[in-house]
Structure 1
Amino acid sequence: MTRRIVVGYDGSAPAVAAVEWAAADARRRELDLRIVHVGEPTEESAGMLEAAAARARPLTGGLAVTTESRTGNVVGELIAASSQADTLVVGSRGLGGFTGMVAGSVSMGVAGHAHAPVVVVRGPRVVEYGRVVVGYDGSEQAEAAMEFAVEQARARLAQLHVVTAWQVPVPAPYAPAYDDLIEEAVRAELEAARARVEPWRERNPGLVITDDQPRDHPVPALTRISETADLVVVGSHGRGGLAAAVLGSVSHGVLHHVTCPVAVVRA
């Protein structure tokens, strides 16, 4: 089966940015690109799709660019299209074919449910930082996120920055004896987080991998670090450092607050 990047398109500014991101990623990873519109097929929608393809072709370096028009529920059709995709790319919000959807409803609907990693693009990026950031806690979902992040960093010739963010429990004021126990637990968690990164360094000797363990909730930690990132990658949910996150907690928060492209990866 041909693996390709699929991008949802409705003519909105975020969708244009999503097409451009998907085309550049297709070129980096040598994958075909398919541009999908969901809505009633009309001459206008056909022209819109062709215009998107014309915009994408110069960015793919000669790789195949095809278009597809689907009818039905936007989220359901994009999830179905993702079954034959390496990656599904969507804008952060839309219009036209996505009319009536509130900000983030399509991206929230497909992220965590699609058959492939979902990349949500808010807008065009002017500055490139040469850094991919991944939230990592050692869970099954985080392992899948790491695999995707490693591939993205390699394709971009970028550094990979691994973040394990977690909040230190606040002891009750009447229980100062627990301070030492908490600090011991903190040291153990830091050591475990650093140790989890080492096998990735060993398996990827040509990739610069840095790590950080901020004492903060994952959403503000990743949001802050994302200011100098080209892509932030998170699992659909995790444990421990990523606070038992389901889509609606860490992934949900990151999608709402991080301004660079965000990839949500299921195990």
Structure 2
Amino acid sequence: MAGRIVAGVDGSPPSMAAVEWAAADARRRSLDLRLVHVCEPWAGDAGTAEYCAGMLESAADRVRGLFPGMEVGTEILPGPVVHDLVRGSAEADSLVLGSRGRGGFAGMVLGSTSLALAGHAACPVVVVREAATLRHGRIVVGFDGRRSPAAMEYALKQARAQDAELLVLYAWRPPILSSYASAYSTFGESFEEHSRDAAQKVVPWRDGNPDVRIVDEQVCDHPVAALRNASSAADLVVVSSRGLGEFASTMLGSVSHGVLHHAACPVAVVPPGGDSPASG
């Protein structure tokens, strides 16, 4: 990943919350910050260019007010939104967006634009609903033990930068069985077996990152519900854009989609990466 955080600006309150989150993250991790606004081809009214430039400069001024001395780059892109931002994501550390917007970012999270970005961007996409008013000191990552390494890597970076605890959360749902008696007799053993396996797979990450306090939890619940509940006491929830098993999704599937809809804190959707079991 390149050393630049890109934040989408459209003038809406969630967009400004995203800008503030991106600026704080850039400062914590010593990365460059670029604010971008996508001016769609249909938005050709007189004065549009001046309006867009003023919007970006206002957002940049907000960052400079919060973090004096921070250098902020700005850029107006011609659109369409998804095409430009997906293309730019290949050169970014992360892309940060507001949960809902107007203009070039209309319909974020609940619409097709955000789902396309979270499902296809080459870098993590962080979706911010509103400015944080309380710090919990905890990052939560959804973990399936198989295709979560890139999400774990990003969650570790965030936990380290924020001096926060990392909660590795594994959620297990029992398979649907034809008989209530069969389900009752095998449920306990299956959950214990899956929980032990999930806990064991966290050990290499804990051993490889002694500077981060890593705790793990296994719950019997739907993954979306488990992550939604955990988000109420977290500063960030991290999920993989694709997964297998309990956190399974195809492109941006039901778990990532559901967490984006329901989490109470910012959500980072991370594309699959390598297969490293731990990060130093």
Normalised TM-score (structure 1): 0.93
| 1:43-95 deviation line (CA, Å, top 9, x unaligned) | 11101111111111243453321000011211111112212110100111111
Separation in 2 of the partners of 1:221 and 1:28?
A: 28
Stretch of structure 1 that moved more, 229-238 or 75-84:
75-84
Q: 1:155 to 1:221 in 2, by over 3 A?
A: same
Question: Which 5+ residue runs of structure 2 have no aligned equivalent?
Answer: 273-280
Give the RMSD, CA atoms, in angstroms: 2.0
Query: Structure 1 pair 263/177, CA: closer, same or farther in 2 (3 Å)?
Result: closer
Q: Give the distance between the partners of 1:100 and 1:198, measured in 2 at CA.
A: 40
How many residue pairs get matched? 265
- Could you tell me how far 1:215 is from its partner in structure 2? 0.4
Are the equivalent residues in 2 in contact too, given 1:90–1:118 (CA < 8 A)?
yes
Structure-2 residue corresponding to 1:264: 269
Provide the rounded CA distance (Å) in 2 between the counterparts of 1:231 and 1:177. 38
In the alignment, is the contact (CA less than 8 A) between 1:74 and 1:98 conserved in 2? yes
Secondary structure class of the residue paired with 2:119: coil
Alpha-carbon shift at residue 221 of structure 1 (Å):
0.7
Which deviates the most, 213-222 or 52-61? Answer: 52-61
Please say if 1:160 is aligned against 2:166.
yes
Structure 1 residues 44 and 128, CA gap change in structure 2 (3 angstroms): same
Structure 1 unaligned blocks of 5 or more: none
Contact 2:227 2:259 in 1 (8 A): yes
Q: Which amino acid in structure 2 is aligned with residue 98 of structure 1? A: F
> For residue 94 of structure 1, what is the amino acid of its counterpart?
G
Q: Which residue in the other structure is 1:232 paired with?
A: 237
Please, which of 41, 65, 69 is the counterpart of residue 72 of structure 2? 65
Residue in 2 that maps onto 1:13: 13
Structure 2 CA distance for aligned equivalents of residues 195 and 86 of structure 1: 30
Inter-CA distance 245–196: structure 2 relative to 1 (3 Å threshold): farther
Question: How many Å apart are 1:241 and its aligned residue?
Answer: 2.2
- What residue in structure 1 maps to residue 155 of structure 2? 149
| CA deviation after TM superposition for structure 1 residue 112, in Å | 2.0
Q: Is the 8 A contact 1:237 1:250 kept in 2?
A: no
Q: 2:103 matched to 1:76?
A: no
Decide whether the 8 Å contact of 1:223 with 1:258 is kept in 2. yes
**CA contact 2:2–2:93 (8 Å) conserved in 1:** no
Judge which range, 53-62 or 95-104, deviates more: 95-104
* CA shift for structure 1 position 168: 1.7
**Partner-residue secondary structure (3-state), 2:268:** strand
Amino acid at match of 2:175: P
- Residue 212 of structure 1: aligned partner: 217
Structure 1 pair 100/222, CA: closer, same or farther in 2 (3 Å)?
closer
Q: 2:58 aligns with which of 17, 34, 51?
A: 51
- Measured in 1, the distance between the counterparts of 2:271 and 2:192 equals 30
Is residue 172–residue 194 contact of structure 2 (8 Å, CA) maintained in 1?
no
Report SS of the residue matched to 1:89.
Answer: strand
The change in CA–CA distance for 1:106 and 1:210 in structure 2 (over 3 A counts) is same
For 1:24 and 1:222, the matched residues in 2 are separated by: 24
- 1:166 CA drift (Å): 1.4
Report if the CA contact (8 A) 1:255-1:262 is conserved: yes
Partner of 1:23: 23
Out of 40-49 and 215-224, give the one that drifted further: 40-49
Q: Is the 8 A contact 1:130 1:229 kept in 2?
A: yes
Compared CA separation, residues 195 and 94, structure 1 to 2 (3 A): same
For the 8 Å contact 2:241–2:253, the answer to whether it is kept is no
Match of 1:109 among 110, 116, 119: 116
| Aligned residues of 1:31 and 1:63 also touching (Cα < 8 A) | no
- Please point out which of 125, 132, 139 is paired with 2:146: 139
Aligned pairs for 1:35-50 (under 5 A) are: 35-39=35-39, 42-50=49-57
SS for the counterpart of 1:256 is: helix
CA pair 4-177 structure 1, distance change in 2 beyond 3 A: closer
> Residues 100 and 160 (structure 1 numbering): CA distance in 2 closer, same or farther, change over 3 Å?
closer
Per the TM alignment, residue 238 of structure 1 is displaced from its structure 2 partner at its CA by: 0.9
